[in-house]
Structure 1
Amino acid sequence: MLYFVILTRICNLRCKYCGNNPDPSIEPIDITYTIDDLKFFIEKDPEPVIAFYGGEPLLRIKLMEEIMDKIRAKRYILQTNGLLLHKLNPKYLKKFDTILVSIDGRQEVTDYYRGKGVYQRILRNIKYIRDKGFRGDLIARMAVSGKTDIYEDVKHLIELRDPGFDHVHWQLDVLWDSPPYQRYENFDEWLEEYNRGITRLIKYWINEMEVKRKVPGIVPFLGIMKSLLFNEKVKLRCGAGIDAFAITTSGRILACPIAPEFEWNILGDIYNSSPMELPGKIEIEEPCKSCEIYHICGGRCLFANKTKLWGEEGFKKVCKTVKHLVNELLKVKPEIEQMIRNGVIRIEDFNYPKYNNTTEIIP
């Protein structure tokens, strides 16, 4: 199973959309358990995957290295804002299977949300880690908000070269906080533009396959198309409460890493719980389970499903983006199947992700 290990709750950026709240009355700023405590819990799982998370986990590089030295894991994953990647020792850098770097698209969009100069610092640092021997999956992880043009920003990131990314994923800046729509001038109009951009981006994706005989690594498209091609019936794709859990700085175990303040999200702790007793303690609820695309979507987000911070109306508006995405991919499924039959691309190209690498698939 996948374990998000929250190394610290502080961050070295203050992004406009971020809800990170390092309030010590909710959870300690830094870990209060010992690495031996963590090891005792995680190694009860025969095939653990450890994802280092924050805050910004690279503010605690020595702690991360100590965990990697002491705790056996099948894979190591890192989610980072990228500003401190140049401080990673190549010995540990090469141990990561996946590194996800927060970047929001073009320079002007990234720097607007994350701070002036951040875009260029990220590009310098991803070049550094490639030069130093990182050969794993490098994912651009976008937060998509009011200033985003989904077509232009995803296309920009997927076409970057030397340095570039293997895959691009995004999450919508929706349903995290209230009042609703506070980072949008007109949310309804933005949604319409976003949906048009998704349609255009799918056409680009198909054209790239036809012309270059290669499937661009656009994660939501890959993950959903994989399910359509293999006739998969999925549950909550992020795995929260199923095969993915977060370990807080106090040692509590959460289904979802972003919500330590909610009782429904707390499943146990590393001192008294066993990994194998965690799955199934919490599940997605209505209206998701009755939705006509539930078997493809799996329920967009456990946190949003439980809290509905934008009310039923806001929740349904966001759901329409998922339905649009799925329906547009269903339209191009025959073209993809034909390209597979013709040998232009391979069905194996859609087998992504091969394990839970922290990309939620559904934006």
Structure 2
Amino acid sequence: MMAILYPALKMLRNYVRARYFFKPAPLWLDFRVTNKCNHHCAYCSIPSHTADEMTTGEVKTVIDKTKHIANWVLITGGECLLRRDIGEIVDYIKTTTDMQVTVNTNMFLLQETFEKIRGADFLFFSIDGREETHDAYRCKGSYSKVIEGLEFLKHSRSTMRGLLSLTVLHKGTQKSDLEHVLQLSDQYSFGANFQLIRHYSASGRSQEIDSHNAYGLDLLDYLLEQKSRGRFITNTTKNLKILKDIACDINIIPCYSGRLFCYITSEGKVALCFSRPDHDRYLNLRDKRVTFEMALQRLTEIRPERQRCPGCTCTTPIELATFSFFDFQMISETLRTFGWGTQPK
């Protein structure tokens, strides 16, 4: 009972602090443990970033400094499975904190590293549509690696839950791309999460991908219909509905970067979000003098500069901002998705 009750109370505490007292209390940490990657995706500039990446000990220090506040942590990159100590990192989080751990991977190294990350709660991986679309944006053969990974997980007897993500990148995206991901979700019993990009100017590669208003509202209507039919879509209903309005105006929801979520860079800086990883005033948790509270307070000083930021590119920031409306149905859906209730069949 306490395994469920304590995280739920911790989440409620953080929500109240952020929503009503305007205090930074991130529910979600997006933790980039490396910039290195074995892909070169058309919409991602992370592998081109140079950084003095943290050692295993420094990563553990960051975890120790953040564990009393955050509920969830996403371990990402780059390709986080390229780190030889990825298993040690996952195990440390699971044995010393109450945070739920999601590992984000492109699946290329899954079978070789699976035993290292078996203890994670979720595995998050992307499919950009059908095979030809996916390979075009990533690299030839990458789609087949995802399918191999799905088959491997199916027979692994792992308790790890999977989240398939589809990133809508271009105006040519069809319902068939969405349905393809939903069929994979049905087949392998993994949740389907749709990253409906509005802007990607903050990625540093906006000249390569023009994704302004990249998705049609009919796609959102289709997802809402499929969710109402019981398909395991992890975007909440309220989130999908509000995305239709965000397509016209990104500023209809408040920005909760630094308050309900934050981003930790591979060199240890606590940043507002994935879309804004660089700022000369961010504090670094590698510094023994810097606490997580100090770094979050610095974000509250920086955040007003970003109120009209067009960089919301993925679901998590928008979901958490929508979460601020305290909609009971949305909270219920979120708890079921993250394991605090009955998972949809």
Same fold (TM > 0.5): yes
Give 1:64's aligned residue: 86
Q: Distance in 1 between matches of 2:208 and 2:58?
A: 40
Partner of 1:108: 132
Match of 1:85 among 97, 100, 110: 110
Identify the match of residue 196 of structure 1 among 210, 218, 221: 218
Whether the 8 Å contact between 2:124 and 2:164 is mirrored in structure 1 is yes
Deviations 1:281-318 (A, max 9, x none): 15467876xxxxxxxxxxxxx5627xxxxxxxxx9xxx
Corresponding residue of 1:353 = 334
For residues 225 and 195 of structure 1, what CA distance do their matches in structure 2 show? 10
Matched residue type, 1:304: G
Which residue in 2 is equivalent to 1:273? 290
* Percent of residue pairs identical: 18
| 2:86 and 2:117 in contact (8 A); partners too | no
Letter in 2 for 1:64: I
The reply on whether 1:23 has 2:30 as its aligned counterpart is no
Contact 1:32 1:249 in 2 (8 A): no
Separation of aligned partners in 1, 2:203 and 2:270: 22
| 2:18 counterpart of 1:2 | no
* CA distance 1:196–1:114, shift in 2 (3 Å): same
- What TM-score do you get using the length of structure 2 for normalisation? 0.67
Give the partner amino acid of 1:249.
S
Rounded Cα–Cα distance in structure 2 between residues aligned with 1:130 and 1:88: 16
- 1:253-308 Cα offsets, whole Å, 9 max, x none, are 112134433336x24434333334416615467876xxxxxxxxxxxxx5627xxx
Question: 1:217 aligned to 2:248?
Answer: no
| DSSP 3-state at the match of 1:159 | helix
Q: By how many angstroms is 1:89 displaced?
A: 3.7
The superposition leaves residues 68-123 of structure 1 with CA deviations (integer Å, 9 ceiling, x where unpaired) of 33342321111111211112344731x22221102111111111111111111101
Deviates more, 1:159-168 or 1:218-227: 218-227
- Structure 2 CA distance, aligned partners of 1:286 and 1:244? 15
Structure 1 match to 2:13? none
Query: Which of these residues, 161, 175, 187, is aligned with residue 137 of structure 1?
Result: 161
Which of 150, 157, 170 is equivalent to 2:195?
A: 170
Q: How does 1:257-336 map to 2 (within 5 A)?
A: 257-263=274-280, 266-270=282-286, 271-277=288-294, 278=296, 281=300, 282-283=302-303, 304=311
Larger mean Cα displacement after TM superposition, 98-107 or 124-133: 124-133
Give ranges in structure 1 of 5+ residues lacking alignment.
228-232, 289-301, 306-314, 316-321, 327-346, 358-363
Instruction: Write the distance in 1 (CA, Å) between the matches of 2:65 and 2:72.
Output: 13
1:76 corresponds in structure 2 to: 101
Residue 243 of structure 1: how far off its partner (Å): 3.0
- State the partner residue of 2:11: none
RMSD of the TM alignment (CA)?
A: 3.8
Q: CA deviation at 1:219?
A: 1.4
The residue type paired with residue 274 of structure 1 is T
Tell me the equivalent position of 1:244: 261
Cα distance in 2 for partners of 1:355, 1:241 equals 25
After superposition, the C-alpha distances for 1:130-175 in whole angstroms (9 at most, x for unaligned) are: 3223334311222221265242211110122443532222141633
Question: Partner residue of 2:40?
Answer: 14
Offset at 1:14? 0.6
One-letter amino acid matched to 1:10: K
- Measured in 2, the distance between the counterparts of 1:350 and 1:36 equals 30
CA contact (8 A) 1:33 1:250 kept: no
The amino acid that maps onto 2:90 is M
Q: Does 1:255 align with 2:272?
A: yes
Aligned equivalents of 1:30 and 1:47: distance in 2?
Answer: 20
| Letter of the 2:141 counterpart | G
Q: Secondary structure at the match of 1:134?
A: coil
- Structure label with greater radius of gyration: 1
Change (3 A) 1:216 1:150: farther
Structure 2 match to 1:96: 120
**CA–CA distance in 1 between the matches of 2:131 and 2:147?**
10
Q: Which runs of 5+ in 2 are unaligned?
A: 1-26, 244-251, 323-327, 339-345
Q: CA, structure 1 residues 287+141, in 2 after alignment: closer, same or farther (shift >3 Å)?
A: same
Gap change, CA 1:267 and 1:42, over 3 Å in 2: same
Q: Distance in 2 between matches of 1:48 and 1:151?
A: 34
- Check the 8 A contact 2:167/2:196 in 1, yes or no: yes
Whether the 8 Å CA contact 1:32–1:251 is kept in 2: the answer is no
Q: 1:218 to 1:156 in 2, by over 3 A?
A: farther
Contact kept, 8 Å, 2:272 with 2:303, in 1: the verdict is no
Question: 15-24 vs 34-43, which deviates more?
Answer: 34-43
Shift of 1:48: 4.7
